[in-house]
Structure 1
Amino acid sequence: MTSQWQYQVRFDVTDATTAESVRRGVRDRALAPLFDILAEHRAVPKCQFDAFAEYVAAAEEHGVENDPLYAWTKTTIDDPAKKDKYLKSFTLYVDEREVYAKEIADALEADLQPFAATRLISRISKYDTNPANNPQPPQPTSS
């Protein structure tokens, strides 16, 4: 039986230097094994800060008046402490998809565990698309 929900795997790296290398796809000696595992899963890391910044730029281009998530996202990327946090956080896209089957997420999560043991990765998280398990976007305020 397959799950009705889709999943996503994210990970955080331990330091800013590593984060910058992952963002740029630098396959140095320390990161080559990580990139090899990601390639085996057809997974590509997307920096959370970069995703937020792209979202804000697109919203500003198309209009923010009916976008309740814009204000939260803009505040997040403008906050130096949150910027530091999200620059070290990566969402994994598999076959260019943001969410994927549980079996794919489980295998990816398992193969990333050794990197947590070596402290290259400080945290691995798996999320599902079940709305009951996820925060919902802020509701627009009435004028």
Structure 2
Amino acid sequence: MGEAWQFQLRISVSAELAAVLRGDPACTSHEALRDVLHRHHASLKCQFDAFADYVSEAERMGPEKYPLYEWTRKTIEAPEKKARYLRSFTVYVDSEEVYGKEVADPLQSELSTLVSDAGIISVSRFDTNPANNPQPPARER
């Protein structure tokens, strides 16, 4: 019997919508998006902000305890990567960043209907299968 992988959805948005959503976590400025998220008990977190939070926590607690600290710090400091991650939002469901197929499928379907609607560019789906995901970089020595 195969493993039951979990999933994560992300949306990419225009720079203009990203600036609005980062300051409006309830998505009140985008009614259709707000309604979809509400129906699925979901919320958004800007990936750049999540990375910056990780770096900040690592610096407070000791970077040696955070294996992705160097990679994450370099990522948010690189202008082209910063621009990309400022426009990418992770979809959390019930405050969880990964969830089952039965949750991801209908949510992805509804979010996909919003693509091209007022700044939503794409909806992406990722799974927890290590074969489908790059492995963390080796620590720099």
TM-score (norm 2): 0.90
Distance 1:74 1:118, change over 3 A: same
Equivalence map 1:1-143=2 (5 Å):
4-14=4-14, 16-25=15-24, 26-28=27-29, 31-118=30-117, 120-141=119-140
Distance 2:84 2:75 in 1: 10
Query: 2:112–2:122: 8 Å Cα contact kept in structure 1?
Result: no
Distance 1:111 1:2, change over 3 A: farther
Distance 1:21 1:111 in 2: 21
Shift of 1:49: 0.2
Query: 1:47–1:86: 8 Å Cα contact kept in structure 2?
Result: yes
Q: Which runs of 5+ in 2 are unaligned?
A: none
Query: 1:76–1:83: 8 Å Cα contact kept in structure 2?
Result: yes
SS at match of 1:98: coil
SS at match of 2:4: coil
Amino acid across the alignment from 2:10? R
SS at match of 1:83: helix
Shift of 1:92: 0.5
Shift of 1:3: 5.9
Shift of 1:66: 4.8
CA RMSD of aligned residues (A): 1.9
Distance 1:40 1:85 in 2: 28
SS at match of 2:75: helix
Amino acid across the alignment from 1:105? A
Distance 1:23 1:2, change over 3 A: farther
Aligned length: 139
Query: 1:66–1:140: 8 Å Cα contact kept in structure 2?
Result: no
Query: 1:12–1:88: 8 Å Cα contact kept in structure 2?
Result: yes
Shift of 1:119: 5.8
Structure 1 stretches (4+) deviating beyond 6 angstroms? none
Q: Which runs of 5+ in 1 are unaligned?
A: none
